[in-house]
Structure 1
Amino acid sequence: MNKIVVLTITSLLLCISAQAQYAYFGNRGTISFDKVVYTRAQTREMMKKFDDMSTNGMGGGRHFWGGDINTMPDSRTERMTMHFDEYGSLLVPEINDEENKDSRNQPRISGGRAGRGGGSMGAVTMRGGGGAMAMRSARTRGGSSKVLYQNLKSNTAEVQVELDDKYILKDSLTEVTWRFTDEYRNIAGFECRRVNGATADSLYLVAFYTDQIPVSAGPALSHGLPGMILGLAIPEMHIQYWATKVDYHNDTVPTDWRDKKSKAMTLDDFSNSIGRFFQRGDDSGSAKKRILEQIIY
Structure 2
Amino acid sequence: MIKTYLILTILCLMGLSLQAQYAYFGNRGTISFDKVTYTKARMRQISNDMSSKMMDRGMGFMEHLDKMPDSHTDKLNLYFDENATVLMPEESPATAKSNEGGKMRTATMSSGAGRGGRNQGGNRGSGGNPRGMFRGSASKNGKVLFQDLKAMTADIQLDIDEKYLLAETLDSITWRFTEEFRTIAGVNCRRVNGATKDSLYLIAYYTEEIPVSGGPALSHGLPGMILGLVIPEMHIQYWATHIAYSNHLVPTEWRDKKSKQMKLEEFSALFGRYMPRNRQNESAKKRILEQLVY
TM-score normalised according to structure 1 size? 0.74
Spell out, residue by residue over 1:163-203, the C-alpha distance to the aligned partner (whole angstroms, 9 max, x if none).
10110000100211111111111111111111111111111
What is the match of residue 43 of structure 2? 43
What is the match of residue 72 of structure 1? 68
What letter corresponds to residue 74 of structure 1 in structure 2? D
1:175 aligns with 2:176: no
Q: Are the structure 2 counterparts of residues 28 and 54 from structure 1 closer, same or farther at C-alpha, using a change threshold of 3 Å?
A: closer
Q: 2:226 aligns with which of 220, 226, 229?
A: 229
What is the match of residue 147 of structure 2? 150
Distance 1:87 1:55 in 2: 43
1:214 aligns with 2:211: yes
Secondary structure of the corresponding residue to residue 25 of structure 1? coil
Q: Are the structure 2 counterparts of residues 143 and 13 from structure 1 closer, same or farther at C-alpha, using a change threshold of 3 Å?
A: farther
What is the match of residue 22 of structure 2? 22
Q: Are the structure 2 counterparts of residues 49 and 97 from structure 1 closer, same or farther at C-alpha, using a change threshold of 3 Å?
A: farther
Secondary structure of the corresponding residue to residue 283 of structure 2? helix
Distance 1:275 1:55 in 2: 17
| Structure 1 residue 21 displacement after superposition | 3.5
Moved over 4 A (4+): 3-14, 49-56, 139-143, 279-285
Distance 2:176 2:165 in 1: 32
**Tell me, which stretches of 5 or more residues in structure 1 are unaligned?**
99-138
Aligned partners of 1:34 and 1:79 also within 8 Å: yes
What letter corresponds to residue 18 of structure 2 in structure 1? A
Q: Are the structure 2 counterparts of residues 219 and 5 from structure 1 closer, same or farther at C-alpha, using a change threshold of 3 Å?
A: same
Distance 1:94 1:167 in 2: 20
| Structure 1 residue 32 displacement after superposition | 0.6
Aligned partners of 2:138 and 2:144 also within 8 Å: no
**Tell me, which stretches of 5 or more residues in structure 2 are unaligned?**
95-135
Secondary structure of the corresponding residue to residue 291 of structure 2? helix
Spell out, residue by residue over 1:244-291, the C-alpha distance to the aligned partner (whole angstroms, 9 max, x if none).
111111100011110111011101111122223237697796222101
Coordinate RMSD, CA, aligned: 3.4
What letter corresponds to residue 30 of structure 1 in structure 2? T
Aligned partners of 2:207 and 2:226 also within 8 Å: yes
1:277 aligns with 2:274: yes
Distance 1:194 1:183 in 2: 5
Q: Are the structure 2 counterparts of residues 51 and 257 from structure 1 closer, same or farther at C-alpha, using a change threshold of 3 Å?
A: closer
What is the match of residue 84 of structure 1? 80
Distance 1:176 1:251 in 2: 28
Spell out, residue by residue over 1:37-66, the C-alpha distance to the aligned partner (whole angstroms, 9 max, x if none).
00011122233445977999x99xxxx637
Distance 2:152 2:49 in 1: 36
Q: Are the structure 2 counterparts of residues 191 and 282 from structure 1 closer, same or farther at C-alpha, using a change threshold of 3 Å?
A: closer
What letter corresponds to residue 19 of structure 1 in structure 2? Q
| Structure 1 residue 9 displacement after superposition | 8.5
TM-score normalised according to structure 2 size? 0.75
1:160 aligns with 2:160: no
What letter corresponds to residue 269 of structure 1 in structure 2? E
Aligned partners of 2:173 and 2:196 also within 8 Å: yes
Q: Are the structure 2 counterparts of residues 80 and 51 from structure 1 closer, same or farther at C-alpha, using a change threshold of 3 Å?
A: same
| Structure 1 residue 29 displacement after superposition | 0.9
Distance 1:80 1:13 in 2: 43
What is the match of residue 102 of structure 1? none
Q: State how many pairs are aligned.
A: 253
Distance 1:192 1:172 in 2: 27
What is the match of residue 198 of structure 2? 201
Distance 1:163 1:274 in 2: 11
What is the match of residue 32 of structure 1? 32
Aligned partners of 1:181 and 1:196 also within 8 Å: yes
